[in-house]
Chain A
């Protein structure tokens, strides 16, 4: 226990500026999120009848109830600002990876202390794990608080929706924030160990983390597309199918009579969502297919969250293993 505390104290001393500034930034973000959640909850409590319109807006054929214009305007303005905070929560894990992860090993090499530390330590891998342990736990704690607060704020923005089965603000709340932060931090450590200088490592890790996670998200989009279901906007009788707001949108296109999905390339569509190959076909009623949405149903949200998180953590584990190899093999100067 004493050894753990010694390493924690050492880590804190070496990175206290980053840790304090990171904590201050997280505290500001969390404070703002809680304030907006409190404000939105207050607006709902003050005018439940007016704000019930927000939930029905997409399906409503009429405007808002009389006398609700001002409160709805205030609600939408507050909601927009609150959504911006969730946008910040989306990028915070990557920022944590750059700020806390990249300098961990790079600073030791850059400052020349790695020469002494690695020579004194019986195992460089053990040194690496001890060196990153405290900072990683600290970073994950910050991300955990942001993740939970993100859930609270999302629930305040959409109180009538079941967010456990809803893709709204996917990646901006809950587990993915912590998992992506873990992956980003370990990638930062790897880049720092490879480059061995603080500023180049910080800059390179920003690029590497961005590229890796954009690549992961494209791969996951393709994966989700292969599992997506087709949903029409109108049924066979021409009645509008309620718009599923909980789903994850993949693509919009056409469902052919054979049940195949094709991307829409600008065919004429009638008011019942029926697609025709040309204006002539539209005139004679020769159908090409139906306008549809390719989507992943909201009930699969927990599964996709878990998948996204596991992938991010696996990337982090691979990066940590690679960092251990680099630390074991590289010269300390």
Chain B
């Protein structure tokens, strides 16, 4: 408890902000299912599921919550991680604390470690609530890859990497606001990496119709097959389809003579295989980036 109190005393506004955001979002995620149930009893033409702000329809409520969680996943670690070193350097307390500490690495481990634990607990609360919200959306089936990255373990490992990156940016730049802005740009880059890295080398297979339509699979691409099942290109599929429609016009041709599309990807049942690989990659990257921050702290002048 002492180190929690100390960490809070050193960063009251950042920890207060993170607590406000995390508990607020978790509360919204937990209360949303009952709000939507009330909304669902109305007509389909009533757009109470859509959030309108600033004169524009921004999106559906569940999507907006996940968007907010996705933003918090970057904002909370950024706000917690950047000031750890920048405040010490900017306010020149590093000039005193670094020479006094027996080892700069030990000092950094205590200073960053305590904030990391607090941050992970707070992000964990969101991760748990978001996991519950995703499960409500698919009560009778495996949620698989649905909202992957914005719930559960994947949310926490991604936030952990963002924290390490924020710490490293703060160590290199040494000034608060510039580090925050560079951190925002870095968050955009990291989010792009998160979009292209999955499925982390797990082999894609052709998905069954049920797997492709269920929303729990991770799609990597699509292809076409002729009515006899052989793989064909898009142009050939269009040609076969148009010929069938012309032959039967004005009636519709039977499905058995039409080409059909197939999806490739990783089925929701293999989610944990991907999650395990992702966790290993992200924890490894977090340690690596944390090492960069440690190396900078070890070498830089404290002013």
Whether B181 contacts A170 by the Cβ 8 Å rule is no
Tell me which of A99, A197, A213 contacts B54 (CB under 8 A): A213
Residue numbers in B under 8 Å from A291 (CB-CB): 45
Q: Which of these binds chain B: A35-43, A46-54, A157-165, A261-269?
A: A261-269
Q: Which of these binds chain B: A199-207, A239-247, A321-329?
A: A199-207
Whether A17 contacts B178 by the Cβ 8 Å rule is yes
Tell me which of B46, B54, B175 contacts A17 (CB under 8 A): B175
Query: Using an 8 Å CB-CB cutoff, how does the interface string of B45-81 with A read, 1 for contact, 0 for none?
Result: 1110000111111000000000000000000000100
Whether A90 contacts B54 by the Cβ 8 Å rule is yes
Query: In the complex, A84 Cα to B17 Cα: how many Å?
Result: 27
> Does any Cβ of B come within 8 Å of A175's Cβ?
no
Query: In the complex, A192 Cα to B206 Cα: how many Å?
Result: 56
Residue numbers in B under 8 Å from A252 (CB-CB): 43, 45-47
Residue numbers in B under 8 Å from A299 (CB-CB): none
Whether B54 contacts A171 by the Cβ 8 Å rule is yes
Counting chain B residues whose Cβ lies within 8 A of the other chain, the interface size class is 20 to 34
> Does any Cβ of B come within 8 Å of A209's Cβ?
no
Residue numbers in B under 8 Å from A198 (CB-CB): 176-177
User: Chain B's nearest CB lies how many Å from the CB of A180?
Assistant: 8
Would A267 and B177 be within 8 Å (CB), given that A171-B55, A203-B17, A249-B57 are in contact?
no
User: Chain B's nearest CB lies how many Å from the CB of A245?
Assistant: 13
Would A220 and B181 be within 8 Å (CB), given that A199-B83, A207-B20, A291-B45 are in contact?
no
> Does any Cβ of A come within 8 Å of B36's Cβ?
no
Query: In the complex, A140 Cα to B300 Cα: how many Å?
Result: 38
Contacts across chains A and B counted by CB atoms under 8 Å: 87
> Does any Cβ of A come within 8 Å of B13's Cβ?
yes
Query: In the complex, A304 Cα to B176 Cα: how many Å?
Result: 39
Tell me which of A203, A269, A304 contacts B79 (CB under 8 A): A203
Tell me which of B14, B55, B57, B175 contacts A217 (CB under 8 A): B55
> Does any Cβ of B come within 8 Å of A1's Cβ?
no
Residue numbers in B under 8 Å from A202 (CB-CB): 177, 180
Whether B79 contacts A167 by the Cβ 8 Å rule is no
Query: In the complex, A217 Cα to B180 Cα: how many Å?
Result: 28
Query: Using an 8 Å CB-CB cutoff, how does the interface string of A255-279 with B read, 1 for contact, 0 for none?
Result: 0000000011111010000000000
Tell me which of A25, A170, A199, A221 contacts B176 (CB under 8 A): A199
Query: In the complex, A111 Cα to B57 Cα: how many Å?
Result: 42
CB-CB contacts below 8 Å: B182-196 with A: 182, 185
Of chain A, the residue at the smallest CB distance from B55 is: A170
Residue numbers in A under 8 Å from B13 (CB-CB): 197, 199-200, 203-204
Tell me which of B46, B56, B178, B182 contacts A264 (CB under 8 A): B46
Whether A21 contacts B56 by the Cβ 8 Å rule is no
Whether B182 contacts A21 by the Cβ 8 Å rule is yes
> Does any Cβ of B come within 8 Å of A230's Cβ?
no
Query: In the complex, A176 Cα to B55 Cα: how many Å?
Result: 11
Of chain A, the residue at the smallest CB distance from B52 is: A221
Residue numbers in A under 8 Å from B14 (CB-CB): 199, 203
> Does any Cβ of B come within 8 Å of A103's Cβ?
yes
> Does any Cβ of B come within 8 Å of A193's Cβ?
no
Residue numbers in B under 8 Å from A248 (CB-CB): 55
Whether B43 contacts A265 by the Cβ 8 Å rule is yes
Of chain A, the residue at the smallest CB distance from B46 is: A264
> Does any Cβ of B come within 8 Å of A172's Cβ?
yes
Of chain A, the residue at the smallest CB distance from B17 is: A203
CB-CB contacts below 8 Å: B1-38 with A: 12-14, 16-17, 20
Query: Using an 8 Å CB-CB cutoff, how does the interface string of A284-312 with B read, 1 for contact, 0 for none?
Result: 00000001000000000000100010000
Residue numbers in A under 8 Å from B52 (CB-CB): 221, 249
Residue numbers in A under 8 Å from B53 (CB-CB): 214, 217
Residue numbers in B under 8 Å from A253 (CB-CB): 46
Tell me which of A99, A176, A266 contacts B181 (CB under 8 A): A99
Of chain A, the residue at the smallest CB distance from B57 is: A249
Tell me which of A69, A170, A204, A304 contacts B56 (CB under 8 A): A170
Would A21 and B178 be within 8 Å (CB), given that A199-B13, A204-B13, A264-B42 are in contact?
yes
The 7 sampled A-B contact pairs (Cβ below 8 Å) are A18-B178, A170-B56, A199-B13, A217-B53, A248-B55, A269-B43, A291-B45
Cβ-closest 4 pairs across A and B? A200-B13, A170-B55, A17-B178, A203-B17
What would 13 more interface pairs be, CB under 8 Å, given A90-B54, A172-B56, A264-B42? A17-B177, A103-B177, A167-B55, A170-B56, A197-B13, A198-B177, A199-B14, A202-B180, A203-B17, A207-B20, A217-B55, A221-B52, A249-B52
